[in-house]
């Protein structure tokens, strides 16, 4: 098969691992900087152009779209879909996963445990009422568009919550979309990442902050270690991935007295989990592609 890895960073560990695994299996592989791609849209002839050529002969794309490029990246993925090219992440699932509010709504509808959440638009709502709905402080306040643990603040008092909301509002006077969540004290500074491929957990690790930071994200200096999921945690991860329409993803959960709670479903998870667990994630992804895409160039047309 001829495979395109859509990535802005050919030197990224995940991109390199996918490329070397695909080459080892005899596939043709090319890393395409989707940021330099553009779509040519005309009747019955959808094209993706890149550095002076039309990309017309790929069988599979593996999108590795950065959060800051979601809109452009998803449009390029959609254009490949219009050509019938098999993709490991659909454009609509990618867009859904990057919208924190929409993700939580989909997870809640599917019966997946999540931290109790309130959605607000800047300072347009009564803060005391919002906090009361969450059961009081402390609470977590998140920018809906934040990534890698950025735009996430722990407010331990009502006064602190009001100050944070005011600060976020000043950043965007048109009305910053904000999520307020209950604080799960028993899981502060710790969470679990389950790497999913084809609806199965192929690797799992626990992430722990190295200081008193309540965030455990590896991008914030968190430390990972292998962990064995409980059956309930495994089923929760599978249910979350299915609800988001993501056969390949990272499901972030926290342990609580009420059971596992899903924080986020990442449509483009990093492969640092390979180094932590010793599991061959890239190999599992290529297994999935070979089982689902080989000789099956899709001819359906996706909706907008």
In CATH, what number is assigned to the domain containing residue 255? 3.30.470.20
Flag whether 288 is in a domain. no
Number of DSSP helices (H) and strands (E) in the chain, helices first:
9, 16
Residue 297: is its pLDDT beyond 90? Answer: no
pLDDT at 213: 59
Where residue 123 sits, what CATH number does that domain have? 3.30.1490.20
- Count the neighbouring beta carbons within 10 Å of the beta carbon of residue 216: 26
Strands 177-182 and 139-143: antiparallel
DSSP 237: H
Claim to verify: residue 210 and residue 106 sit in the same structural domain: yes
pLDDT at 187: 77
pLDDT at 222: 66
pLDDT, greater one: 42 or 189: 42
285 SS3 class: helix
Claim to verify: residue 207 and residue 257 sit in the same structural domain: yes
Claim to verify: residue 143 and residue 205 sit in the same structural domain: no
Report the percentage of the chain scoring pLDDT > 90.
Answer: 69
Claim to verify: residue 160 and residue 17 sit in the same structural domain: no
Residue 277: is its pLDDT beyond 80? Answer: yes
Flag whether 173 is in a domain. yes
**Least confident window among 49-53, 131-135, 144-148, 264-268:** 144-148
pLDDT at 162: 85
Mean pLDDT of the residues in the chain = 89
pLDDT at 278: 97
Residue 285 · residue 62 · CB < 8 Å: yes
How would residue 216 be classed by pLDDT, with cut points 50, 70 and 90? Answer: low
pLDDT at 229: 97
> In the predicted model, what is the mean pLDDT of residues 279-283?
98
Question: Strand ranges (DSSP E) for the chain?
Answer: 2-6, 28-32, 37-40, 47-50, 53-54, 60-63, 86-87, 117-121, 139-143, 152-155, 177-182, 190-197, 200-208, 223-226, 248-254, 261-266
Tokens for 75, please give them: 């449009």
**Which among 159, 183, 207 is the end of a domain?**
183
Claim to verify: residue 199 and residue 259 sit in the same structural domain: yes
What pLDDT, in 10s, does the model give residues 135-149?
999 999 987 765 555
Flag whether 76 is in a domain. yes
228 SS3 class: coil
pLDDT, greater one: 133 or 3: 3
Flag whether 304 is in a domain. no
**Terminal-to-terminal C-alpha distance of the chain:** 27
**Least confident window among 118-122, 162-166, 236-240:** 118-122
**Which among 163, 183, 203 is the end of a domain?**
183
The H or E element that residue 168 is part of is helix 158-171
Flag whether 123 is in a domain. yes
Where residue 64 sits, what CATH number does that domain have? 3.40.50.20
Residue 200 · residue 286 · CB < 8 Å: no
pLDDT at 145: 63
CA 64/CA 277 separation, integer angstroms: 21
Claim to verify: residue 244 and residue 274 sit in the same structural domain: yes
CA 203/CA 273 separation, integer angstroms: 7
Claim to verify: residue 19 and residue 56 sit in the same structural domain: yes
What pLDDT, in 10s, does the model give residues 155-168?
999 899 888 887 87
Is the pTM value of this prediction over 0.85? yes
Claim to verify: residue 106 and residue 122 sit in the same structural domain: no
What pLDDT, in 10s, does the model give residues 60-74?
999 999 999 999 999
Closest among 122, 50, 112 to 246, alpha carbons compared: 112
How would residue 223 be classed by pLDDT, with cut points 50, 70 and 90? Answer: confident
How would residue 126 be classed by pLDDT, with cut points 50, 70 and 90? Answer: confident
163 SS3 class: helix
Q: Which domain holds residue 74?
A: 2-87
Claim to verify: residue 22 and residue 139 sit in the same structural domain: no
Angle (CA) 290-294-296 rounded to 5° is: 140
Residue 115 · residue 181 · CB < 8 Å: yes
Task: Count structural domains, the chain.
Answer: 3
């Amino acid at each position: 098969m001829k495979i395109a890895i859509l990535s802005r960073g050919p030197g990224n560990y995940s991109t390199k691992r996918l490329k070397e695994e695909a080459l080892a299996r005899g596939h043709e592989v090319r890393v395409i900087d989707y940021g330099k791609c553009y779509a040519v849209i005309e009747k019955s002839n959808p094209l993706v152009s890149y550095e002076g050529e039309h990309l017309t002969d790929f069988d599979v794309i593996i999108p590795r779209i950065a959060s800051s490029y979601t809109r452009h990246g998803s449009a390029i993925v959609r254009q490949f879909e219009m050509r019938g090219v098999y993709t490991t992440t659909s454009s609509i699932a990618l867009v859904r996963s990057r919208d924190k509010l929409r993700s939580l709504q989909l997870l809640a509808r599917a019966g997946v445990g999540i931290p109790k959440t309130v959605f607000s638009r800047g300072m347009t709502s009564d803060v005391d009422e919002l906090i009361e709905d969450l059961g009081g402080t402390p609470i977590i306040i998140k920018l809906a568009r934040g990534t890698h643990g950025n735009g996430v603040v722990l407010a331990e008092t009502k006064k602190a919550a009001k100050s944070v909301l005011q600060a976020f509002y000043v950043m965007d006077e048109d009305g910053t979309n904000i999520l307020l969540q209950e604080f799960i004290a028993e899981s502060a500074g710790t969470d679990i990442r389950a790497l999913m491929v084809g609806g199965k957990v192929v690797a799992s690790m626990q992430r722990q902050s190295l200081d008193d930071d309540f965030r455990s994200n590896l991008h914030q200096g968190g430390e990972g270690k292998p962990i064995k999921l409980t059956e309930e945690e495994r089923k929760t991860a599978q249910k979350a991935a299915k609800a988001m329409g993501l056969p390949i993803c990272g499901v972030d959960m926290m342990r609580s007295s009420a059971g596992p709670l899903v924080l986020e479903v990442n449509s483009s998870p990093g492969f640092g989990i390979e180094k932590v667990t010793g599991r061959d994630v890239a190999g599992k992804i290529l297994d999935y592609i070979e089982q689902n895409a080989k000789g099956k160039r899709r001819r359906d047309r996706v909706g907008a």
